[in-house]
Amino acid sequence: MTKSEYPSRPTVKPVGCGVRASVFFWHWESGFFHSLIALFLLISIGRAATNDYFKIAVVDEQTGRGVPLVELRTVNNISLWTDSNGIIAFDEPALMDQEVYFHVKGHGYEYPQDGFGNRGLKLKPTKGGSSTIKIKRLNIAERLYRITGEGIYSDSVLVGYPVSVKRPVLNGQVMGQDTVIATPYRGKIYWFWGDTERVSYPLGNFAASGATSDLPGRGGLDPGAGVDLSYFVDASGFSKGMCPDFGPGLQWIEGVMTVPDEGGRERLVARVSSQKGLAPAYAWHLAVFNDEKEIFESKVKWDITESHDSSHPFLARVGDVEYLYLYPNYRVKADLKTLADLKSYEAFSCVAGDGRLRGATSPIDRDSEGRPRYAWKPGAERLHPGRLRELISAGKLKPDEAWIQLHDFETGATVQAGRGSVYWNEFRRRWVMISSSAKPGEIWFAEADTPVGPWVYARRVVSHDNYNFYNPTQHPFFDQDGGRLIYFEGTYTASFSAAKEKTPRYDYNQIMYRLALDDARLNLPVPVYRVQGRDGTMRYSPREGVEPEKLWGQIEDIAFFALPFNRGRGGTVPVFTHTEGGRLALGDTLPGNANQPIFFALPATAAPVDDSVDGTWRCDLKDSEGGAFGVTFELKADGERVHGKASDGILIRGGSFKAGTLSLDVFHEEKAYALTASMRAGKLSGDWTQRNGGEHGIWSGTRFDPVPPEDNSLVSLYEYRHMQTHQRIYSTNAELADKNWQRAAVPLCRVWPNPMSVLSLDPSATPVPLAK
């Protein structure tokens, strides 16, 4: 069986080897005659070089795609790193034609461990030979390729393996680049970075760098294959400064956006901080891109010292007005004139008065019950997570009163949100966040009903071992399959981490990841609101029930968190609404009613599942030659009959489960397969064979529990009835202060608690589709 979930890599042609490839492209620009000579030289020299190398391909066992940034280390500590195709060109004269042991290690990936604790294997390198190593992905997100720096595809070029970009070994004389900001503008994608390292000297460009690329579908690469950058360069061919006239020190671009100018013409603008080292900025600029000179020019200079914070703006409409949200809680009307006026910027803040912070004396606006009131305030200071922590430390806010409160879905532990981005996602029908955390190298995924929240439950999707990966951002212009696949990148660097040595070529450069939002591990709890209905009854509904009826103004609070109606899976139970005697009630069954559930929850008590096949299973299939394939089965038994669905284009046509033995009839890529397995201690293991074919192998399955064993954050949801009115309400409190409410003896189900004491919502913001 083969995997076909993701868009395939476009067909590309091999490029010659090493520095010679750069020479070829230089001669191409100089003239056809020279390029023709260079091409013939490349063909002859490149073939010879290809035959000298032993090609090692490291691939994701789930997708078969090459994995970049994987280290192979010999016993005598020769360290080799895969390029963006997952390729290593091996040529060690003393180690050819004999068995060589390689330790295998890669951030977020794992090779099996032997009895002595070593993770690696023996290969026999030969000139012109090749071998493939399959590794298991631990990260939810998939590492795709490096975008910037030297030698992105150097090993692929040496062995003659196809590459996707025009300049695979050196582009714009760039060795390293820090922090990306990007946006579509006039039919192309414009990319900008901070400090940029050069080939010829340790000091490079500190006035911001830039490049363009074609949009996918308009001549650009599929984002799964790469990004083909065309740098803005100076006379020497090095990436030139984009902000050359902004003053001394460093020029860091904070956010890039497109707005109409006074004449209605689309302009590319940015906020730029001028600073000396890592100290706070000494000035800020609103800069406008000069399309003829291909540089930014300062339109307005602000004498403010706010720190740089990597803004990635998005457009949203409030009524008839379009706003640029520089951050989820900081916005301004989307026109050039308003952008230039600092008094017109609005912050979502609970600081009373003008919204300006005054340290430990900052007044907090509170309602009659003492809860902070968040509202949009012109001229107020943005309450980023760092400032919220300052107010909490000063005793002005309690931890549960912050507008953003990320919690690890697996453990319930608090996650300190760092820099990142927020964009609307059409597939999830929610705003999604990609964020770093206090721990270097971690990237977290979260989602919310509105730009300002509620941001609560999050899942780690990427980790790097003792290495940093900061200033991440999603690129919504790369979304695929209606937003099911999203792409994000960040800066891979040893800076501000515990790294003892820097990764050759990769350090201080940008790496792209891809995240599939239909992955069951991203089924995160969402708010279930307590809504005062227009008929006076109390309703409980997630966003899907509030939005169509425009009931945002009737929300009283968040009662609890649960899984959305379209993300239930094995081990969860559906919860419906129905009417009894004119009163609202919740129930886990709804006989004779075909309506969809309003949410999914966990059973009231954890039931043993060892003797049941029901649920979601992560399965590993291996063929007789050692090839591996991963698939997910969602199974449900009806008596002895079993039905369900599978990932990766596999069709379950039928099955049975009796006497502890599971049998499945599956169909994949025009072939039928029979799978049988025994159930022992809640795990499956057995054999598979191709019907009317010679393929066969073994397989095993482990039940995917939607709630990890270490998660202690689940709470029981109780039904209460009022003793006089018989009205029903639902609460995670085991006892209410008002004794007129009588609690049911048995919990209805288990849900996730609401850790927030404030209601952080901005339902007026409607996402504006990204212009491409």
Instruction: Select the more confidently predicted residue: 519 or 579.
Output: 519
**Are 177 and 272 in the same domain?**
yes
Residue 455 has pLDDT above 90, yes or no: yes
3-class secondary structure, 43: helix
Residue 543 lies in a domain: yes
State how far the alpha carbon of 54 is from the alpha carbons of 13, 116, 403, 504, 659, in Å. 20, 28, 55, 20, 51
Q: Is the pLDDT of residue 12 over 70?
A: no
The position carrying tokens 């994987």 is: 70
Q: What is the pLDDT of residue 606?
A: 63
Torsion angle defined by CA atoms of residues 265, 266, 268 and 269, in that order, rounded to the nearest 10 degrees: 70
The percent of residues above 90 in pLDDT, for the chain, comes to: 71
| Enclosing domain of residue 282 | 172-307
Cα–Cα distance for residue pair 78/71, rounded to 1 Å: 10
Higher pLDDT, residue 459 or 628 = 459
Are residues 198 and 69 located together in one domain of the fold?
A: no
Whole-number pLDDT of residue 413: 92
For residues 289-296, give the mean pLDDT. 97
Residue 478 gets which letter from DSSP?
Answer: G
Structure tokens at 211: 């490049």
Q: How many CB atoms lie within 10 A of CB 715?
A: 18
The confidence score (pLDDT) of residue 24 equals: 32
In a domain, 483, yes or no: no
Q: Is 441 left (phi over 0), alpha (psi -120 to 50) or beta?
A: left
What letters, b where the CB count within 10 A reaches 16 and e where it falls short, cover 318-335?
A: eeeebbbbbbbbbbbbbb
Q: What is the pLDDT of residue 58?
A: 98
User: Does the structure show a pLDDT above 90 at 305?
Assistant: no
Q: Examine the domain organization and report whether 715 and 696 are in the same domain.
A: no
Residue 47: what pLDDT? 44
Indicate if the pLDDT at residue 681 is higher than 80. no
585 and 619 part of one domain: no
Predicted confidence (pLDDT) per residue in 236-255, tens digit: 999 999 999 998 989 999 88
- Angle at CA of residue 551, ends 458 and 601, nearest 5°: 40
Band (pLDDT 50/70/90 cuts) for residue 168 is very high
Q: Is 476 within a domain?
A: no
For the segment 548-564, the average pLDDT, to the nearest whole number, is 93
Give the up-direction half-sphere exposure of residue 218: CA atoms within 13 A in the CB hemisphere: 11
Q: Tell me the sheet residues that pair with 491.
A: 470, 510
Domain-located, residue 498: no
Which of 647, 625, 628, 626 has its CA nearest to residue 60?
628
- Residue 674 pLDDT more than 60? yes
Structure tokens at 209: 């760098």
Angle at 174 between CA 171 and CA 176, to 5 degrees: 130
Nearest to 633 by CA among 696, 704, 573, 697: 704
Residue 661: inside a domain: yes
Mean pLDDT, residues 59-79 = 96
Query: In the predicted model, is pLDDT for residue 5 greater than 50?
Result: no
Please report the pLDDT score of residue 22 as a whole number: 36
Average pLDDT, the chain: 88
Q: Same domain for 189 and 281?
A: yes
- Which pLDDT does position 273 carry in this prediction? 93
Reported as a pLDDT band with limits 50, 70 and 90, residue 610 is: low
Q: Is residue 409 part of a domain?
A: no
3-state secondary structure of 581: coil
Mean per-residue pLDDT, 74-99? 97
Q: Among 157-166, 317-326, 508-517, 544-553, name the one with the lowest average pLDDT.
A: 544-553
CA angle 204, 210, 215 (to 5 degrees): 145
Euclidean distance between CA atoms 418 and 388, whole angstroms:
12
Q: Return left, alpha or beta for 423; rule: phi > 0 is left, psi -120 to 50 is alpha, else beta.
A: beta
Query: Pick from 534, 535, 596, 594: which is nearest to 565 by CA?
Result: 596
672 with 731, same domain?
A: no
CB of 706 within 8 A of CB of 523?
Answer: yes
According to the 3-state scheme, what is the secondary structure of 652-698? EEEEEEECCEEEEEEEECCEEEEEEEEEECCEEEEEEEECCCCCEEE
How much is the pLDDT for 538? 83
SS3 of the chain: helix, strand, coil, percent, to 5: 10, 45, 45
pLDDT tier at 712, thresholds 50, 70, 90: low
DSSP three-state, residue 310: coil
Q: Give the count of alpha carbons within 13 A of 11, CB side only.
A: 0
With a cut of 80, say whether residue 736 has pLDDT above it.
yes
Mapped onto helix, strand or coil, the DSSP state of residue 84 is: coil
pLDDT tier for residue 706 given thresholds of 50, 70 and 90: low
| Phi, psi of 427, deg, nearest 5 | -65, -45
Same domain, 677 and 726: no
Distance, in Å, from the CA atom of 139 to the CA atom of 109, rounded to the nearest integer, reads: 7
For residue 770, what pLDDT is reported?
75
Say if residue 765's pLDDT is above 60. Answer: yes
CA dist., res. 25 & res. 42, Å (int)? 11
DSSP 507-542: TTEEEEEEEETT-GGG---EEEEEEE-TTS-EEEE-
Q: What is the pLDDT of residue 209?
A: 97
H-helix or E-strand spanning residue 19:
helix 18-30
CA–CA separation, 684 vs 689, rounded Å? 16
- Whose CA is closest to 602, among 560, 562, 566, 572? 572
Going by pLDDT thresholds of 50, 70 and 90, the confidence category of residue 636 is confident
* Better-scored residue on pLDDT, 58 or 637: 58
Give the pLDDT confidence of 98-129 residue by residue, as tens digits: 999 999 999 999 999 988 999 999 999 999 99
* pLDDT tens sequence across 319-363: 999 999 999 999 999 999 999 999 999 999 999 999 999 988 999
Q: Is 114 found in the same domain as 188?
A: no
Q: How confident is the model at residue 437 (pLDDT cuts 50, 70, 90)?
A: very high
Given 307, 330, 345, which residue is the final one in a domain?
307
Residue 359 within a domain: no
What's the whole-number mean pLDDT along residues 597-616? 77
Residues 375-383: what's their mean pLDDT? 95
Per-residue pLDDT reduced to its tens digit, 568-602 = 766 788 888 876 644 556 665 554 445 678 899 98
Task: Identify the pLDDT of residue 281.
Answer: 87
Range in 208-217, 290-299, 548-557 with the lowest mean pLDDT: 548-557
Residues 205 and 286 in one domain: yes
Condensed to tens digits (0 to 9), the pLDDT of residues 27-46 reads: 334 444 444 444 444 444 44
| 540, 575: one domain | yes
The domain total for the chain is 4
Q: To which residue do tokens 């969809």 refer?
A: 596
CATH number, domain containing residue 652: 2.40.128.120
Beta bridge partners of 13: none
pLDDT class for 3, splitting at 50, 70, 90? very low
328 dihedral zone (left: phi>0; alpha: psi -120 to 50; beta): alpha
Q: Which residues pair with 749 in a beta bridge?
A: 717
Please compute the mean of the pLDDT values over residues 187-193 and round it to a whole number.
97
Q: Give this prediction's pTM.
A: 0.84
- pLDDT of 4 reads 40
Same domain (yes/no): 177, 293: yes
pLDDT category at 708 given cuts 50, 70, 90 is low
Is the pLDDT at 709 greater than 70, yes or no?
Answer: no
Same domain, 44 and 192: no
Q: Is residue 690 a part of any domain in this protein?
A: yes
